[in-house]
């Protein structure tokens, strides 16, 4: 049996997401049959020493400090973008115009205008057989994919309500140092775009319905943070000249939503929920039942079937590790759960299979543009609703 053709990958960025994507590119062909074999060809970053160290650590054949030259290389088939949001547009447009397939981390861009330009370029490239996908990896959590299947099968009937939360606590210490994720020029928004984008995508993916309108509130709890390595003063504000920076994004985002199918939803994204490390919670209530998911127990989906006799009704705890469940047959025996990293591996699997079969992968840039429009609507609504009604 001959080996499948290679898909030579060039990845730009090698921090948290770069490490995770590297793991996924290495792992996918070892557990799944793919029409193309990913090859970790080149990793690119700004600093030559740290980029070379990342290449050696994560298994890339070469390292580079010039992403433009990487895109121009004839021996690179796909560009994987793992950089801050302010760079996504420039890199993606250059890659698509050079005939490279593109995987771009979420959110797609820092504005709707940028996302629209990227979507137009992606659709033009697709007509030439060049494919693109946005990296909403939580879609590939088997329990969430199963939730979508149950909704599509009509098991919970007509959807009435959606509740979605993404709760973290890693910024709750007001002396935690400034990061690019707290700079609007680089990140586009704070908890809203960083983690809120995930629950927006998950809710729209599982329900099969887009958000049509929102009413929102954004809050920044800590408005200034020390620069990395800065001393934090004692007493008063603790400010030292030149060692603090302004936080220009939201710390928490809360909004209500109406979906195109007339369901209503409530969303919350925060990085200040002490004790919550990565709680992605989605509950969907329909006319025939409900579904509930929490990523901190990611191998479980809860299902309430209202069509059963009342004396046996109750939430059923489904351990999503059976071979019949999405993606799981390629992993471990039933009952041996998966982890955070598996969603990224499944993302690579779906992308490579789509490229190999010359079909459009999902979520597409247009899907990601839809999320970007919700993010913008939340910011617009929050700015208009800046004052509470006095009691």
pLDDT in tens, 166-179: 999 999 999 999 99
- Summarised one tens digit per residue, pLDDT across range 375-388 is 999 999 999 986 66
> What is the domain partition of the chain in residue ranges?
6-137, 142-297+299-338
pLDDT digits (tens, 9 = 90+) for 174-215: 999 999 999 999 999 999 999 999 999 999 999 999 999 999
Is it the case that residue 240 has pLDDT exceeding 60?
Answer: no
Specify the pLDDT at position 114.
98
Q: Is a pLDDT exceeding 50 seen at residue 66?
A: yes
pLDDT greater at residue 134 or residue 387: 134
The per-residue pLDDT for 282 is 98
- Residue 266 confidence (pLDDT): 98
Q: pTM here?
A: 0.95
Burial of 85 (0-12, 13-18, 19+ CB in 10 A): buried
6-137: CATH number: 3.40.50.720
Instruction: Please state, in angstroms and rounded to a whole number, the distance separating the CA atoms of residues 207 and 112.
Output: 23
CATH class of this structure's domain 142-297+299-338: alpha beta
Residue range 68-97: average pLDDT?
97
Q: Any residues with CB less than 8 A from the CB of 136 and at least 6 apart, and which?
A: 106, 197, 198, 201, 202, 205, 363, 368, 371
Q: Give the span between the Cα atoms of 371 and 348, in whole angstroms.
A: 21
Closest CA to 272 of 168, 354, 198, 189: 168
| Mean pLDDT value across residues 70-75 | 97
């Amino acid at each position: 049996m001959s080996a499948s053709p290679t898909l030579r990958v060039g990845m730009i960025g090698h921090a948290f997401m770069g490490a995770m994507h590297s793991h996924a590119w290495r792992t996918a062909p070892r557990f799944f049959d793919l029409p193309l074999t990913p090859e970790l060809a080149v990793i690119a970053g700004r600093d030559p020493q740290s980029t070379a160290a990342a290449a050696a650590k994560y298994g890339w054949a070469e390292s580079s400090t010039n992403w433009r030259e990487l895109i121009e290389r004839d021996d690179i088939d796909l560009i994987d973008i793992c950089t801050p949001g302010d760079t996504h547009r420039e890199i993606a447009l250059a890659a698509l115009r050079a005939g490279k397939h593109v995987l771009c981390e979420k959110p797609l861009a820092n504005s709707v205008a940028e996302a629209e330009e990227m979507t137009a370029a992606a659709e033009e490239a697709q007509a030439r057989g060049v494919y693109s996908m946005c990296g909403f990896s939580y879609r590939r959590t088997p329990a969430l994919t199963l939730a979508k299947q149950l909704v599509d099968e009509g098991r919970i009937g007509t959807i009435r309500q959606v509740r979605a939360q993404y709760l973290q606590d890693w910024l709750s210490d007001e002396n935690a140092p400034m990061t690019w994720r707290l700079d609007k020029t680089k990140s586009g928004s704070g908890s809203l775009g960083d983690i809120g984008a995930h629950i927006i995508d998950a809710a729209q993916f599982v329900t099969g319905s887009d958000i049509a309108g929102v009413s929102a509130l954004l809050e920044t709890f800590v408005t200034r943070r020390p620069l990395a390595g800065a001393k934090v003063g004692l007493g008063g504000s603790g400010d030292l000249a030149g060692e603090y920076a302004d936080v220009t994004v939201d710390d928490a985002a809360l909004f209500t939503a109406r979906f195109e199918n007339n369901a209503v939803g409530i969303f919350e994204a925060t990085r200040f929920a002490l004790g919550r490390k990565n709680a992605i919670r989605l509950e969907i209530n329909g006319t025939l039942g409900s579904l509930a998911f929490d990523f901190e127990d990611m191998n479980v989906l809860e299902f309430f079937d209202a069509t059963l006799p009342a004396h046996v009704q109750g939430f059923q705890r489904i351990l999503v590790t059976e071979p019949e469940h999405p993606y799981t047959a390629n992993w471990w025996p039933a009952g041996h759960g998966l982890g955070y990293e598996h969603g990224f591996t499944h993302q690579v699997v779906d992308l490579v299979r789509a490229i190999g079969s010359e079909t459009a992968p999902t979520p597409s840039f247009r899907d990601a543009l839809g999320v970007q429009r919700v993010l913008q609507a939340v910011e617009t609504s929050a700015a208009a609703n800046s004052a509470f009604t006095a009691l």
